[in-house]
Amino acid sequence: MAYRFMHAGVLLAAGLCALSACTHQSHADMQAFRSSAQAFKVDTVVESLRHPWGMAFLPGGDALITERPGSLRRVSNGQLAAAPVTGLPEIEEVGQGGLLGIALHPGFERNRWVYLAYAGKSGSKYSTEVLRGRLDGMTLTDVEVVFKAVPKVRGSRHFGARLVFAPDGTLYVSLGDRGASPSQGDAHPSQQLGSHTGSLIRINDDGSVPKDNPFVGRAGAKPEIYTYGNRNMQGMALHPTTQQIWTHEHGPQGGDEVNIMRAGVNYGWPVITYGVNYGLGTKIGEGSSKTGMAQPAHKWVPSIAPSGMAFYTGDLLAGWQGDLFVGSLKFGLLVRLTLDGDLVTGEERLLDGEYGRIRDVVQGPDGALYLLTDAWNGKLLRITPDG
């Protein structure tokens, strides 16, 4: 259990602020907490963000934050720039879709490429798309689309849309099943290699297909697919030691999962799941296991509605080094998972709704953990040691 108490003072060590200058908080704006391994405090860096969704840190400590309604915001010196970054195409918010994931090219200091995932529209249909543009101050230039998931469908749910670069320079794009009915079983689009729906995508930085993707050359299969049988992956991170991609995905009513992504593997949705049909409690698919379909590394029953994901590798919050952190939309939690290699050995639930829906979790270049809260008046929060 985590214990909360009001912080007695504002004690921010010099040089710890990733955003170049710490904000001046009143005592009421800062709260302190204690986990089983680390005392910590939370303070608000900026607020007035409109449903912030994803975050990436620039060299020098500034942050770029996506807002689901379609704006890209920049935080410098602890202040939110009054106007959004310009140069993006018009991006429409549609239900759970809008401007979503963000990642910087590994060579950003040289090429200035920023990658953004969003809900792309054609007529009345949508799918997840990815664009890139070169950041020049407060403007994106040379904007081009590098990936479009097909098929586009009507509906406004389950876009996935996290972005992570791997050490080999390939870009992973997490997708959702777009709300397709689980009653389709084996015929569900997440089980069809001819559809990007419900899959993890792996592409090169220019959108071309890596030659070693698992389904390259298979008749009828989309060559960008790396894994399939996924429901709605809204968290993704690179394991700092193994360099494997880890994701988490929303289950239905119950059955949220953490998965270790391996090339060509079927993760089972909706043939197998630990969840049940919404409001009915009835069985989905064939049960919770089936030969040839992967089991999760961790699961939540009941669901926590996970979003955002980060391995903590810093020294600042030393008690948490090597742990995996996941945000919760449903309960407003910061979930800490302890690990022994690929094995999840424990779970601790922190914050307990104190700040509302946690949409993203990112380790900053200063070693602090940063959180985004999903609200019309969303916040950027900073977690540092207490004491």
Give residue 386's pLDDT: 96
Q: Looking at the domain covering 3-385, what would its CATH class be?
A: mainly beta
Range in 21-35, 145-159, 205-219 with the lowest mean pLDDT:
21-35
Give residue 17's pLDDT: 52
Residues near 2 by beta carbon (within 8 Å), at least 6 away in sequence: 33, 34, 35, 348, 349, 350, 351, 352
Q: CA-to-CA distance for 290 and 324, rounded, in angstroms?
A: 27
% the chain with pLDDT above 70 = 93
Going from N- to C-terminal start, the domains of the chain cover 3-385
Examine the pLDDT at 10 and tell me if it is beyond 50: no
Number of other residues whose CB lies within 10 A of the CB of residue 295: 14
Q: How confident is the model at residue 18 (pLDDT cuts 50, 70, 90)?
A: low
Residues near 262 by beta carbon (within 8 Å), at least 6 away in sequence: 227, 244, 294
How do residues 257-294 score in pLDDT, each as one tens digit? 999 999 999 999 999 999 999 989 999 999 999 999 99
Q: Quick check: 224 and 213 in contact, CB under 8 A?
A: yes
Examine the pLDDT at 35 and tell me if it is beyond 80: yes
How do residues 107-128 score in pLDDT, each as one tens digit? 999 999 999 999 999 999 999 9
Average predicted confidence (pLDDT) for the chain: 93
293: DSSP letter? B
Give residue 30's pLDDT: 85
For residues 212-234, average pLDDT: 98
| Closest C-alpha to 261, from 291, 228, 290 | 228
Q: Which two tokens stand for residue 283?
A: 């069985």
φ, ψ at 191 (rounded to 5°): -100, 5
| Most distant CA pair in the chain, distance | 65
- What is the DSSP track for 209-250? PPTT-TTTT-TT--TTEEEB---BEEEEEE-TTT--EEEEE-
Write down the pTM of the prediction: 0.94
158 noted as active-site residue: yes
How do residues 311-324 score in pLDDT, each as one tens digit? 999 999 999 999 99
Q: CA-to-CA distance for 196 and 192, rounded, in angstroms?
A: 8
Examine the pLDDT at 7 and tell me if it is beyond 90: no
- The identity of residue 10, as a single letter, is V
More confident residue, 3 or 131: 131
Q: CA-to-CA distance for 339 and 168, rounded, in angstroms?
A: 25
| Closest C-alpha to 190, from 244, 161, 233 | 233
> Would you say how long the chain is, in residues?
387
Gyration radius from the chain CA atoms: 20
Q: Any alpha helices (H) in the chain, and if so which ranges?
A: 108-111
Give residue 6's pLDDT: 33
Q: Quick check: 181 and 235 in contact, CB under 8 A?
A: no
Q: CA-to-CA distance for 86 and 70, rounded, in angstroms?
A: 11
Give residue 387's pLDDT: 79
User: Which one of 7, 158, 188, 298 is the catalytic residue?
Assistant: 158
Give residue 16's pLDDT: 43
Examine the pLDDT at 1 and tell me if it is beyond 80: no
Examine the pLDDT at 24 and tell me if it is beyond 60: no
Q: How confident is the model at residue 3 (pLDDT cuts 50, 70, 90)?
A: very low
| Closest C-alpha to 127, from 53, 69, 173, 178 | 178
